[in-house]
Structures are given as C-alpha cells and as structure tokens.
Chain A
Amino acid sequence: MSSETDPSAKKPRNLIDGSTLFVLALVLAGAALVYRRDGWPGVTAILVEDSWLFLDILPKVLAGCLIGAFVAAVLPREFVSRWIGGDSGLTGLVIATAIGAIMPGGPFTIYPLAGALLAVGAGVGPAVAFVTSWTLIGLNRAIIWEAPFLGVDFVTTRMLVSLPLPIVAGLLAHWLARLVPGGPR
C-alpha cells in the first residue's frame, strides 16, 4: 500500500445524508408520540434534559476528534501497519484490545480514533478488536456507568468472560474483510 492517504478510507462528507434524515424522522415521530401522551411538559422536560447532556459531551467530542486527528498526523503509516495493520495477526489484535480497554472516554473518542487509525493503515481486524474492546471491557465505561446499576459482581463476571471476545470479533472481521471486496483489509 502506498504512503499517500487512501481515498477509500476517508468518509465522503455530505452535510445531510440518508442515515441522519432517518434518525431525524424517528426522533420527530418519537417527539410527536411523547406530545400526544404527556403534552408539552413531557416534550420540554426531555428536550431540556437531553440538551444539557448534549452540551456536556460537546467538549469531549472536540477532544476526541482532535485526538484522532493528531494520532493520524503523528503516527507513521509504516508503524501503524506493522503493529496493527491487516497482516499484523494476533499481535495486532492483542495490542488493539489493550488500547481499547484502557482508552478513556466514550463513543466520542473511540469511533473518531478508530476511523483515524483505519485511515493511516490499521487493518479491519484490529480496528474491530479496538472498538469491541472498548465496548465490552472498557474500564471507564464499566466503572462509571455499569457498576452503579448492575453491581460489581455482575460487571466483573461479565468483563472476565468478555476478555477474549474482542480477539474473536477481530479475527472474524479480519476473515470477513477478505471475503467482502471493496475496501481496506
């Protein structure tokens, strides 16, 4: 693979696209139904609460996007593809799983970083292992959000059992990427 930016790795940018409109339609339908059930107080209560949530995550989203951009700018493509590239094998999956487990933040850091790594030479398998690792064994998510609801016993059991799963998902995605044409491996 050449050292230039792979055009297929960068998302095409349309301000409005199909999936955004789809979510918008779902949300408007939801808001209409909430209005019918609870009236304006119900609608505004949800609106106010979630607007705060939105404002609260905005700075973290900015940090996540900057982290992704800096990582993409700093890490040499050869370095990325050697360690977590499409041919990095089990080593790459283990490295990606480890980073995913300790990376702080939420979806606002994980997905931009995964996208940036893919753009500078990461393989599909390690990228999937990274996202899955954050999803299933990410420490900060488990401690902050899960344990208060489900208890430490539940969370530790779930995380112990999940330890090998990012590798499983990464391996499956790696094989699938070879079967499905049309993009990075």
Chain B
Amino acid sequence: MSATLIVSLSLWVITIVLALVTWRQGRDVLREASRSGVLDFLYLIPRLAIGVIGAGFLAALLPQDVVRSWLGPESGFTGMLLATVAGAVTPGGPVIGFAIGASALKSGASYLAVMTYVTAWALFAFQRLIVWELPVMPTRVVWLRVVASLPLPILTALGVMLLTGRG
C-alpha cells in the first residue's frame, strides 16, 4: 500500500470518527457542520483549480538555473538571505522545492544554503500562501505568521551549524 493511500485512508477515518462524534451531539449539529464543511469545499474548488493547475505553468517558467545559482557554494549571511528569497519565490506544490534543493546539492551548493532554502520554501512559498492559506485563514493571522516566521530560515541554518559543525 502506497504512503499517499495511507494518508488518504487515515484522513477519511478521522473524518468518519469526527462525524460520529458530531452525530452524538444531535442530528442537527451533524447536518449543520456537514453543510458548512461542504460549503468551504465548494468555495475552495475554483481557487484550487486555478492555483494547482496553474502551478505547473509557474514552475515551468521558474528559471531553475538562476534559483540554483543563488544557492551557490558561497555561504555566510548574504548567502542565507539569498536562499531565503529563492525559497519564497519558488512555487508551492508538494515537491518542487525539494527537487530544486536536491539538484542544487548535487551541483555543489552548500548544505546550509539548501537547508535555508527548503525551510524558506516550506514557510513562505508565495503561491501556496495565496491559493491555500489566505482563503481559509483570517488575513491578519496569515501575515502575522509570515512576519513571525521571518527569522526561522536563518535560525535553522545556525542550528544546523551548531549540530553538525558544518559552516
């Protein structure tokens, strides 16, 4: 059984268990909650269609060589800042940041720069922010999260330096 199938199955098991718990609070509670969940889903569909189907075009246009060159072997603070920016402009989707990070490592980028890049991509990927996060979270909380996360890529790099002695 593939890992993604396990994820899907566990998601639906959680959903069904929660539905039963909700049902125990009354049929009306279950009906109202299901309605609200389905409405959220319908609201997301056009956004996701644009964002997910469109991510491929953005990824195809991303000058991967340029991004890779930003993760050059030169490290230091400037290198980490560049890696952070590179992560933020890389489109979302489950793998593209990891794929670019892996190929950058192979072509000689520093370990620290790739750590910084992957962390920044996970936290800030601009398109994931707009497609997934803003539609369902209060706008204010999204921007508070982004600002609060600004130091994290650099903290990751510092932590890796301490832990592994690489620098």
Q: List A residues at the B interface (Cβ < 8 Å).
A: 8-9, 11, 13, 15, 19-20, 22-24, 26-27, 30-31, 33-34, 38, 42, 46-47, 49-51, 53-54, 57-74, 104-109, 111-112, 114-115, 118, 124, 127-128, 131-132, 135-136, 140-141, 143-146, 149-150, 154, 157-158, 160-162, 165, 168-170, 172-173, 176-177, 180, 182-184
Contacts and interface: CB of A to CB of B under 8 A. Distances in A.
B129 to A, nearest CB: 9
A160 B119 CA distance: 13
| Chain B at the A interface: SS class | helix
Contacts, number: 263
Contacts of A149: 95, 98-99, 101-102
Closest 7 pairs (CB-CB, A-B): A27-B54, A69-B37, A30-B57, A161-B159, A172-B148, A73-B33, A70-B18
Interface of B: 3-4, 7-8, 10-12, 14-15, 18-19, 21-22, 25, 29-30, 32-34, 36-38, 40-41, 43-58, 60-61, 92, 94-95, 98-99, 101-102, 105, 111, 114-115, 118-119, 122-123, 127-128, 130-141, 144-145, 147-149, 151-152, 155-156, 159-160, 163-164
Contacts of A169: 145, 148-149, 152
B139 to A, nearest CB: 8
